[in-house]
Chain A
Amino acid sequence: MQHIKIQNVSKLFGEARAIDHVDIVIEQGEFFTLLGPSGCGKTTLLRTLAGFYQQDEGDLYFDKVNINRTPAHKRNIGMVFQNYAIFPHMTVFENVAYGLKARKVKKDQIDIRVTEALDMVELTHLKDRSPSQLSGGQQQRVALARAIVIHPGLLLMDEPLSNLDAKLRVKMREDIRRLQKDLDITTIYVTHDQEEALAVSDRIAVMKDGKVQQIGRPYEIYLTPSNKFVASFIGSTNFLTGHVSDGKELKNTEIQVEGIQLSRVFNRDYAGEVIYSIRPEQVRLSDLKHVRTSKTITGKIKEASFLGQTVTYKVELATGTVIDVHEYSVSFHNLRREGDIVAVDLNPEQSVVFDVSGEEVLNECDNREKAEVLPV
């Protein structure tokens, strides 16, 4: 069921377009994340939805009702802020009760609902404390309880975890996700942390320079990035320069990369320079003596960093290009040392090939059909 519709929305600050013709449709109960580097417009879009900014172009719909002219305090939106924005002059209980009082809810009802909300965030025992006596994580839980207690039609979260330490961040994001699903609140979540976005979201919109670059499920965005920016912003990847001399044969387009020919199924006729993107964990290394075909590139381990679960290598290819390669540290046996010579397989089936500008995907995207059958 369509719940939130953002149609062709733009917001200008002076001459600069903070949001540039954004179109997004969000379903009821969806956990939707706006992800992008700072200055990409994600917070501006969130604040426009909240009603703190007025868009210069376009329309906003909640449940098919246009809310362009609805003031912020009538939008029935719960919002959680980066810096918590707890009312410092009220107790935890009063903070959570604030929105209910504004809605003229009866006092006994307020007591029940506040207690219920504080239960959900596990803060009932602190209800009479003043905010200054709470830790950052506890304050953020109060903010969350305060936002959900009003039964908002939409929950907005603006980088809610960025002021917390790493361990707490992981715990809080799991809690938020669970709460969101239990209460079935449509949620829009803003973050610049791609790992966080991948972990909590049903769908993600990657943004840059006020424009939406790609909208999709976490694995779609990771596995089939729609342009070079998305590929590099989500996770890490190696970009290699390739060349296609004859693109007529779509089914088997030959790409010249690092001195060898790799073939990939293209979706259109293309000739010229391409960007060959392959993630570090997709590159396969093997001992040189085992394999040597025309598709083998030799490389030399320049640096090795042991990170526990994985080992990351910087591998210098024959042409002098240095790529990142990640391998699981399965056993002593498979650890490679600096200076080792290895065979490098660039694994074309898992590669993404962009045109020279990095804006267009050239390979046929065979992952997409698979994506449809995966559970949400």
Chain B
Amino acid sequence: MKSKDDMQQRLGLGLKNMYLSVLEEPLPDDMLALLDQLDDDDKDDKDDEDDSASRSDLNEQG
């Protein structure tokens, strides 16, 4: 029974360490760059929408 408990303990520890070892790795630059790119694209889209709305307002006033 002891060896079964021991194996369960080793397995649990092994799984946690396997997971933790990835958490401790430095993040690949391209993943953070991807988020920055997505964020920038959003901001560009929003700027375009704002410009378009401003032009529309000006046209209505004119």
A binds B: no
Residues of B at the A interface (CB closer than 8 Å) are none
